[in-house]
Structure 1
Amino acid sequence: MVATFRRHSLAGEMLVLQLAIVVVVLLAVAAVSLAQSQATFNRVEGRRVSALAEQLAANPLVRSQLVRPAPGEALAPLVLATQAQSGVTSVTVADGAGRIVSSTNPTVIGERIRLGPGSARGRGWSGQFTLDGNRELAAQVPVLGATEENLGRILGTVMIGEADPTVWQRLSGASSYLLAYLGIASGLGVAGSWLLARRVKRQTLGLEPGEIAGLAEHREAMLYGIAEGVIALDPQHRLTLVNDMGRRLLGLPEDCVGQSLEGLGIDGRLRDVLSGTAAGERDEVVVRHGRVLVMNRMTVTKDGRPLGSVTTLRDRTELARLEREIGSFRSSSELLRAQAHEFANQLHTISGLIQIGEQDEVVRYIRALSRHRQSLDVTLSRRVRDTAVAALLMAKASLAAERKVRLRISDDTALERLAPEDAADVATVVGNLVDNAVDAAAARDDAWVEVALRQDASSVEIVVRDSGPGVAPELAREVFSHGFTTKAAREGERGIGLALTKLVCERHGGEISVANTPEGAVFTARMTVSHLTGTVAEGAAP
């Protein structure tokens, strides 16, 4: 038969431990009480037996009988009377030769008295003494002669002893209320231990140590095994937990747990999202150390009491890079779609004119379309030599025309051919800025967007103006760190167009800014690039 043992609960173990502590404390109190009682006994009783011994040694009867033969018969009544009156344990009288002549214990008469260190040298002495296996507090005083014949001579020794009290006698003698005090202390200790065990049980939600350890292990495995960053804050905005991915994405030090957001230098948009100051929408976009982060914050409460918050972070930088890489393909497809729509409208117009017999009007219409297309093509090919950027602007012009927005190229635009990787990044910046500008201007009458590209020996400046309402002043300085588009700046929607634009500019050692004019918003981006021709186009602004 296999014996099974029931494991004690955490509350039970705490109760047993606390009871053991109470017992140890009670034993320590009892030991201190015994030590104090012993010290009091030695001090008080030592003085009393010493005084009794000195009094008996100075008794004339004792002095006179010790110089006579057989003094025991005369001293016996005095010895017994001294014991009866003082309540001491023993009274002993020895002659000058050290033989006991009278004692309350008749069995020791005739034996030699044991002298203490002081009595052996003719002085009084008091201390612990063992007689017949019993420990006593004894005082020994020499009997000195008082007559002319024996003046100053030691005639004998008087010893009076008081037996040490038992442990029970010491405890009862320490204080009449000691047992009551110990009982009350024991009751309070037991009650406190029981309450503490119950509180521990509630604080641990009824979980045992093994279960708590298992939960901690599972939490560590979960937090450090997921690909997303996790950061937890308490109500005072101090970090209570962060996994490796979260620390890497936010650029936090190893000892960041326990520090506040201010102490870690987290401010601006990131602080607003982590602390809950920002709008509580999901998928908040934040730019941090060149990364586009998507953050979701959840407030944690228990029984209506706030415990803090948990925020998850996802890195969308790689996704943004892929979006930028397919931007050229998207632009080409959009261009084809817009041109197909435009050509279909033009063919419908030509078909209608032919059906009503207006052949001359058909010719004039076709010539006007041809001049407009040639004018746009010539303008772009003359001012923008880079084919990727020129093709993008052609596509954006068709898309803008669909939304009744006129896209025009500034007269001072001059851009030479760029290295392929630089051309892709310049196209990304131009495309994002033009898209935002078209969104902003589309709601206005006679809407327009103007693009200016200027290049010097090492950099390109991109300026996009629009006839929209502009950017709200309170968002003008933070619109890029928030990851808003111009539409988001007006309506509070989410977007990462300008965040991508800022990342591209910063990667090329440049910057981007926004300003408001009476006509609308002006976005200015600067980037360091290299060109293929080795020269700057004439008329380019530095």
Structure 2
Amino acid sequence: MKPRRPTLAGELLAWQLVIVVVVLVAVGAISLAQSAATFDRVEGRRVTELAEQLAWNPLVRSQIDRPAPAEVLAPLLHATRTQSGVTSVTVADVRGRIIGSTDTTLVGTPFPAAAGEAAQARGRSGYLTVGGTRELTARVPVLGAAPENHGRLLGSVMIGVAAPTVGERLVGASSYLLGYLGVASALGVLGSWLLARRIKRQTLGMEPREIAGLAEHRQAMLHGIAEGVVALDPQLRLTLVNDVGRELLALPASCVGTSLSGLGFDGRLYDVLAGGDEARDEIVIHRGRVLVLNRMAVVKDGRPLGSVTTLRDRTELAQLERELGSFRSSTELLRAQAHEFSNQLHVISGLIQVDEYEEVVRYVRALREHRESLDLVLPSLVRDTAVAALLTAKSSLAAERRVRLRLSERTALDRLDPLDAADVATVTGNLVDNAIDAAAAGGEGEAWVEVELRQDASSVEIVVRDSGPGVAPELAREVFTRGFTTKAAQGGGRGIGLALIRLVCQRRGGEVAVANTDDGAMFTARMSIGRLAHEVMETL
């Protein structure tokens, strides 16, 4: 049969009882110390006064230097002891020999350690062993009063009172001490029992081994899940973070207990972690990672206890989304071109049906000249085939949205490395898509989008202007961290397109910025290319 383990309430009660016993012993010791101090002070003063009175007694002063004074002094010494309740009364001559005492066995013996002090005519009080009993004594010199020996040291008087035992001191400390100790014991036991019950309720009835197992399971769960977990108290201090959260936020090992501001968090990440409301699927770009944050406030009985935020790393997913977006964009471009060709075929078919053959020839010639002009201008300015093909396809998409896509005369882009061309095409395509959306929603007037590509030995600069309403000033800084498109100017947001643009530029040692012009918004993206770009990406 397995031995029964003690319960949490039982252990707490036992320890509390031990504490109560220790406190009671300490109280008793303090009471004894106070009682001893009181006895020394009160009785020391009393025996000193009695000794002084006896030393100034005329009978003592006249008989102390006479022969055989014991018989004369004995009645006085016994009367003094009886009346004052002291333990012993002793008289010694100037040589330190006892000449009279309430204990007759001491007559003729040396005065206990008093000869030197008596000879110096000084009094003394303290503990001495007299006749086998430890006493609190007071010794006073006896000085002559007769003209022939006036002021001369004649001997000493000592009066002692027996020191009380520990039991006597304990009883004398306070007549109510035992009652006090009993009441304190009862209150201590009752308080220990109530405390044990309260702790039992607060731990939901779990025993220490169960609490320890629960803590171990929690640690295993926190450090075993693939998401980051960050817990903050109401003062925005970090109280808990698992390994994934520490890695995603690049936190030091000793980060627990540090405030958010002390960890260097600011901007969008600080706003989400420290926000007062719950956050759902908030996108934050932090140290080259695309993070999705979900924050939940922790409240118990109406009292805020802090918050818990989970973090998911969507960087790889965002890359896949970007690749999927490129396929979706290609499909949309093909659909737009098919729609454009379909409209042109419908026009040609209609002209044939009404026998306008010459008009058909003129219409086809106009279409061919328009296509040839675009095919001639674009390759001369953009020599990279991937980027040129992208802009050609985007022109069809813009035309379908009634937006004119034009290429700046300052554009000059040479053939790029395939990896460089892919990133340049990604950034250009996303910026053009957002610009087309903004221009199409711009209202009255001609809707247009202008693309300018400039290249030097180590970098490419992409500038996209549109005739849209621009970006709201309060969103100009956050448009890339929140993942808004230029539709954010009207209060809407979608996806993380611009956030991905910034991520691509940062990985290539560049940056992207937005500014409002007189006509609309202007996005400028810069990124390094060639060997410099590869060196930058290897260091990240």
TM-score category (smaller protein): 0.7 to 0.9
In structure 2, what is the equivalent of residue 534 of structure 1?
none
**SS of equivalent to 1:514:** strand
Deviations for 1:146-171, whole angstroms, at most 9, x for unmatched residues?
A: 99999999999866442222334334
In structure 1, what is the equivalent of residue 133 of structure 2?
134
Tell whether the 8 Å contact from 2:7 to 2:207 is kept in structure 1 after alignment.
Answer: no
**SS of equivalent to 1:67:** coil
Partners of 1:347 and 1:521 in 2: CA distance: 36
1:516-535 to structure 2, matched below 5 A, reads 516-530=516-530
Partners of 1:154 and 1:515 in 2: CA distance: 112
Deviations for 1:308-344, whole angstroms, at most 9, x for unmatched residues?
A: 1122222222233334445554444433333334444
In structure 2, what is the equivalent of residue 470 of structure 1?
470
Cα offset, 1:117, TM superposition: 1.2
* Distance change (3 Å), C-alpha of 1:21 and 1:477: same
User: AA paired with 1:523?
Assistant: F
* Distance change (3 Å), C-alpha of 1:460 and 1:321: same
In structure 2, what is the equivalent of residue 384 of structure 1?
382
What's the TM-score once normalised by structure 2's chain length? 0.81
User: AA paired with 2:255?
Assistant: C
1:24-43 to structure 2, matched below 5 A, reads 24-40=25-41, 43=44
In structure 2, what is the equivalent of residue 115 of structure 1?
111
**SS of equivalent to 1:477:** coil
Cα offset, 1:426, TM superposition: 0.8
Tell whether the 8 Å contact from 1:54 to 1:141 is kept in structure 2 after alignment.
Answer: yes
Partners of 1:367 and 1:495 in 2: CA distance: 42
Partners of 1:101 and 1:33 in 2: CA distance: 37
User: AA paired with 1:484?
Assistant: F
User: AA paired with 1:505?
Assistant: C
Say if 2:60 is the partner of 1:59.
Answer: yes
1:63-462 to structure 2, matched below 5 A, reads 63=64, 66-67=67-68, 72=71, 77-91=75-89, 104=102, 108=105, 113=109, 115-119=111-115, 123=119, 127-131=126-130, 133-138=132-137, 160-174=159-173, 207-276=206-275, 280-325=278-323, 328-351=326-349, 354=352, 359-443=357-441, 444=443, 446-462=446-462
Cα offset, 1:433, TM superposition: 0.3
* Distance change (3 Å), C-alpha of 1:345 and 1:149: closer
Cα offset, 1:437, TM superposition: 1.1
**SS of equivalent to 1:525:** strand
Partners of 1:75 and 1:516 in 2: CA distance: 121
Partners of 1:179 and 1:519 in 2: CA distance: 95
User: AA paired with 2:112?
Assistant: G
Partners of 2:153 and 2:477 in 1: CA distance: 111
Partners of 2:365 and 2:143 in 1: CA distance: 157
Partners of 2:523 and 2:151 in 1: CA distance: 123
Partners of 2:137 and 2:403 in 1: CA distance: 121
The worse-fitting range, judged by mean Cα deviation, of 10-19 and 385-394 is: 10-19
Tell whether the 8 Å contact from 1:327 to 1:428 is kept in structure 2 after alignment.
Answer: no
**SS of equivalent to 1:495:** coil
Partners of 1:330 and 1:503 in 2: CA distance: 20
Q: What is the Cα-based RMSD across aligned positions, in Å?
A: 4.1
Tell whether the 8 Å contact from 1:83 to 1:90 is kept in structure 2 after alignment.
Answer: yes
The worse-fitting range, judged by mean Cα deviation, of 368-377 and 351-360 is: 351-360
What's the TM-score once normalised by structure 1's chain length? 0.81
Cα offset, 1:200, TM superposition: 5.2
The worse-fitting range, judged by mean Cα deviation, of 250-259 and 519-528 is: 250-259
Deviations for 1:21-51, whole angstroms, at most 9, x for unmatched residues?
A: 5324313422321331342255224414533
User: AA paired with 1:233?
Assistant: L
Q: Any stretches of 5+ residues in structure 2 without a counterpart?
A: 532-540
Partners of 2:14 and 2:343 in 1: CA distance: 86
Percent identity over the alignment is 63
User: AA paired with 1:512?
Assistant: V
In structure 2, what is the equivalent of residue 508 of structure 1?
508
Partners of 2:202 and 2:504 in 1: CA distance: 51
Say if 2:23 is the partner of 1:22.
Answer: yes
* Distance change (3 Å), C-alpha of 1:17 and 1:447: farther
Tell whether the 8 Å contact from 1:249 to 1:315 is kept in structure 2 after alignment.
Answer: yes
User: AA paired with 2:31?
Assistant: A
* Distance change (3 Å), C-alpha of 1:514 and 1:143: closer
Work out the number of aligned pairs and report it.
525
Deviations for 1:122-163, whole angstroms, at most 9, x for unmatched residues?
A: 647654344565333345678899999999999998664422
Partners of 2:247 and 2:5 in 1: CA distance: 48
Partners of 2:262 and 2:95 in 1: CA distance: 91
* Distance change (3 Å), C-alpha of 1:33 and 1:240: same
Deviations for 1:336-368, whole angstroms, at most 9, x for unmatched residues?
A: 333334444444555555556555554444444
* Distance change (3 Å), C-alpha of 1:17 and 1:383: farther
* Distance change (3 Å), C-alpha of 1:4 and 1:49: farther
Cα offset, 1:436, TM superposition: 0.6
In structure 2, what is the equivalent of residue 7 of structure 1?
7
**SS of equivalent to 2:283:** strand
**SS of equivalent to 1:26:** helix
Deviations for 1:471-506, whole angstroms, at most 9, x for unmatched residues?
A: 112212331232211123433424211111122223
The worse-fitting range, judged by mean Cα deviation, of 432-441 and 129-138 is: 129-138
Cα offset, 1:264, TM superposition: 3.1
**SS of equivalent to 1:309:** strand
The worse-fitting range, judged by mean Cα deviation, of 52-61 and 314-323 is: 52-61
Tell whether the 8 Å contact from 1:18 to 1:193 is kept in structure 2 after alignment.
Answer: no
Cα offset, 1:287, TM superposition: 1.8
The worse-fitting range, judged by mean Cα deviation, of 21-30 and 287-296 is: 21-30
Tell whether the 8 Å contact from 2:44 to 2:136 is kept in structure 1 after alignment.
Answer: no
* Distance change (3 Å), C-alpha of 1:102 and 1:213: same
Deviations for 1:360-409, whole angstroms, at most 9, x for unmatched residues?
A: 55444444433333333233223221111011112222333333333232
**SS of equivalent to 2:273:** helix
Tell whether the 8 Å contact from 1:467 to 1:520 is kept in structure 2 after alignment.
Answer: yes
Tell whether the 8 Å contact from 2:8 to 2:208 is kept in structure 1 after alignment.
Answer: no
In structure 2, what is the equivalent of residue 538 of structure 1?
none
Tell whether the 8 Å contact from 2:381 to 2:412 is kept in structure 1 after alignment.
Answer: yes
* Distance change (3 Å), C-alpha of 1:436 and 1:210: same
User: AA paired with 2:507?
Assistant: R
Partners of 2:152 and 2:456 in 1: CA distance: 129
* Distance change (3 Å), C-alpha of 1:406 and 1:16: farther
* Distance change (3 Å), C-alpha of 1:207 and 1:62: farther
* Distance change (3 Å), C-alpha of 1:424 and 1:82: same
Tell whether the 8 Å contact from 1:384 to 1:415 is kept in structure 2 after alignment.
Answer: yes
* Distance change (3 Å), C-alpha of 1:65 and 1:239: same
Partners of 1:144 and 1:44 in 2: CA distance: 21
* Distance change (3 Å), C-alpha of 1:122 and 1:21: closer
Deviations for 1:206-246, whole angstroms, at most 9, x for unmatched residues?
A: 55544444344333333333332222222232322333333
Cα offset, 1:432, TM superposition: 0.5
